Structure 1
Amino acid sequence: MDDPNSILSPGMLVRHPAEPDWGTGQVQSNIGGKVTVNFPNKGKVVIESSRVMLVPVFDR
């Protein structure tokens, strides 16, 4: 699998592995290797899938 973030879809919850203080974010979109996530303590962030592998959160 070339892009491990390709499984992420809008509404899914994720964490940024290098930025735990951002909290658990919600995926807004995943288009062309760019994942837009709204984090509670950072706001909306566009993540390059080739640079960061987001961690899905399945339980809170």
Structure 2
Amino acid sequence: MGELNDLLEPGMLVRHPQQPDWGVGQVQSNISGRITVNFPDAGKVVIEGSQIDLIPVFSN
């Protein structure tokens, strides 16, 4: 897990695979595998990239 997460950069859009109701979030930071994402329906969430593979979104 986490290899794709290594490519995530601030500004990229992602979905959380286990929380689809959170909507499409925007990556705020990706530091040492801890990814901070701002989701419209969950707010700012820090995700451990080694535990959850976020899904990149290239178009809404």
Taking structure 2 as the reference length, the TM-score comes to: 0.94
1:2 deviation in Å? 5.8
Q: Deviations over 1:8-48 (max 9, x none)?
A: 00000000000000000000000001000000000000000
Structure 1, unaligned stretches of length 5 or more? Answer: none
Aligned 8 A contact 2:36 2:47 in 1: yes
Look up the SS of the partner of 2:47 in the other structure.
strand
2:32 equivalent to 1:32: yes
- 2: distance between equivalents of 1:19 and 1:27? 16
- 1: distance between equivalents of 2:3 and 2:59? 23
Q: 1:2 to 1:17 in 2, by over 3 A?
A: closer
Structure 2, unaligned stretches of length 5 or more? Answer: none
Question: One-letter code of the match for 1:38?
Answer: N
Look up the SS of the partner of 1:6 in the other structure.
helix
Aligned 8 A contact 1:10 1:30 in 2: yes
Taking structure 1 as the reference length, the TM-score comes to: 0.94
Look up the SS of the partner of 1:21 in the other structure.
helix
CA RMSD of aligned residues (A): 1.4
